[in-house]
Amino acid sequence: MSRYWEEGFYSQPTTSELKRKSEASRVSAEKKGKRLEPVVIQGRKIAKSWWGRAWCDNLERYADYESRLSRGKRYVKTGAVIDLSITKGRIQAKVQGSRKTPYKVEIRISPLSEERCQEIIAACGRKVAVTGRSMENIMRVATELGYMKLPKNTVMDINKIKSMPLDKQVLMTTGSQGEEMSALYRMAFSQHRQIDVGPGDRVIISASAIPGNEKTIGRVINELFRKGVDVIYDRSDPLHVSGHACQEELKIIHALTRPRFFIPLHGEQKMLRRHMNLAMEMGMDRKNIVLPDIGSVIELTTKTIKIADAPAPSGSVLVDGSGVGDVGAVVLRDRKILAEDGMVVVIMNLQHGQLLSEPEIITRGFIYVKESGDLMKELQGIAMDAAESVTRKRGRDDGELRGVVKSAVSSYLFKTTKRSPMVIPVVTRL
C-alpha cells in the first residue's frame, strides 16, 4: 500500500506511482488467473486496472455502503459491473451447460442497468424475453437512447418466446430481493399470468441479498426448489460482482478527493460508523464528519459542518386506498389489535338511566360463540355488574359508563384467556 495513505496523508499520487501500482495489479491478477478488462463507459475505454479506475470512478463525497464492511479490493470491475473473466464465463457455462437438457433459463440481475442487461444478452446466446416493469422500462429507454445495442432478432415478445424450444429461451426478470409484486415472486408462487416454472427450468439469480431481505429471498428460492426448478444463486455459485466499494477502494476515493467535510450516507449504523472511522484513519478531523439520521438538517459553511438542533419533518407516508398520509399511529395500533386478538362489542340498552336487559355481546375474530357459551354468560354478568355500579349513581354520563364497562370486560378477558381484544361498549338510550 502506498505511503501517502498508510500515514494518513492526502498528497496527490504521482503518475509514475500510479503506473507502477497499475502494472503490479495486472501482474498479480494474471498470476491468479484473472484477466483485467478495460473499463468501458459509453463505448470509450477509460482504464485497464483498478488503479486507473479510481481516476474515472464516482468522486462524490457521499458514499453508499453495501460493501462497506468488506476489506481489500477487487481487481476487476468493468463498466458493466460484471467481471468478464469470471462472472460472464460462469453465466455462459450455466446457460450453455443446460443445453444437454432442454432447460428454459431465467436470469435475475441486480442492480438493474443497461450494461448488465447487455452483458447477459451477449453471454447467453439464446432468444431473450423480458418481464418485470422496471426491467422492461430500462430496456426500452436504454434502447431508444442508443445505450444498448441489441443483436437483431434476439429480444422477443414474452408471448412469442414460449413457442421456442426450451433450450433456446432466456427470460430476464425482476425480483432478486424477494419483492412480493415482482415477476420472479409471482412465478415462484404461480401468480404470473404468462410464465409458469417447474421441472426443466433453471433460474440464475445474479444478485446478492440486501441486509434484511434474506428471509423473503429464501422464501422465493425455497418455493422455486419446491416446484422442481434448478436454482443457482449467490451462495451456491457466485455469479454476482458487487458494484459497491470495499474499504481499500474507499481509501483511494478519499485520497483522490481530499474532502474538507464528509457525510456517510446509505446503510446501517454499523456501516456508517465503520466508514467514519476509515475517514478518520485517512487523516480527517472528527469535527468535519457528521452522521445524520432521517430528518436531520445539516448546517454547512465554508469552515464548519454540523447537525442543526431542529430536524425536518420526516418519516413514512402511508397510502391507504385513496387516502395518502391520513392513517396515523392510533389507526395502525387499532388495526394491529383487531388482527391479533379480535373485537368484543358490548351493547347496553338504557331507559330512564336503568338497564332494560342484560348487555348483548358480539365478537369478531376472538372466539367461536357457539362453542363458548359459558364465557359469553360470564361476560354478560361482568358487563351487567359494571353498568349497574354506574347507573345506580345519578348524574353519571355515558362516557363514564362506557369506560367502566370496558375496563371490567377487558380485565376479565385477559385473566381468563390471556388475550386483549378490542372492547367497544355501545350505549343506547330509549
User: Per residue in 162-194, pLDDT tens?
Assistant: 788 888 888 888 888 888 888 999 999 999 888
Query: Range of 248's domain?
Result: 3-76+243-296
Residue 320 lies in a domain: no
Distance between CA 352 and CA 126 in Å, rounded? 84
Residue 308 lies in a domain: no
Examine the domain organization and report whether 98 and 227 are in the same domain. Answer: yes
Distance between CA 105 and CA 370 in Å, rounded? 54
Residue 302 lies in a domain: no
Examine the domain organization and report whether 338 and 407 are in the same domain. Answer: yes
Residue 313 lies in a domain: no
Distance between CA 59 and CA 85 in Å, rounded? 26
Distance between CA 129 and CA 131 in Å, rounded? 7
**pLDDT per position as a tens digit, 303-316:** 999 999 999 988 88
Q: What is the pLDDT of residue 77?
A: 32
Examine the domain organization and report whether 206 and 90 are in the same domain. Answer: yes
Residue 317 lies in a domain: no
Query: What's the structural domain count of the chain?
Result: 3
Examine the domain organization and report whether 215 and 155 are in the same domain. Answer: yes
Task: Give the CATH number, domain containing residue 126.
Answer: 3.40.50.10710
Question: How many other CB atoms sit within 10 Å of the CB of residue 360?
Answer: 14
Examine the domain organization and report whether 337 and 411 are in the same domain. Answer: yes
Q: Which residue has the cell 433459463?
A: 105
Residue 325 lies in a domain: no
Examine the domain organization and report whether 418 and 336 are in the same domain. Answer: yes
pLDDT of 286 strictly over 70: yes
Task: Give the CATH number, domain containing residue 378.
Answer: 3.10.20.580
Examine the domain organization and report whether 179 and 211 are in the same domain. Answer: yes
Distance between CA 59 and CA 54 in Å, rounded? 9
Examine the domain organization and report whether 218 and 252 are in the same domain. Answer: no
Residue 290 lies in a domain: yes
Question: How many other CB atoms sit within 10 Å of the CB of residue 36?
Answer: 24
Examine the domain organization and report whether 205 and 105 are in the same domain. Answer: yes
pLDDT of 333 strictly over 90: no
Examine the domain organization and report whether 149 and 250 are in the same domain. Answer: no
Q: What is the pLDDT of residue 65?
A: 40
Domain limit, last residue, from 182, 198, 232:
232
pTM of this prediction? 0.57
Examine the domain organization and report whether 173 and 263 are in the same domain. Answer: no
Q: What is the pLDDT of residue 32?
A: 60
Burial of 295 (0-12, 13-18, 19+ CB in 10 A): exposed
**pLDDT per position as a tens digit, 92-119:** 555 555 444 455 666 655 556 677 788 7
Q: What is the pLDDT of residue 395?
A: 53
Examine the domain organization and report whether 110 and 160 are in the same domain. Answer: yes
Residue 306 lies in a domain: no
More confident residue, 79 or 178: 178
**pLDDT per position as a tens digit, 349-362:** 888 778 888 899 99
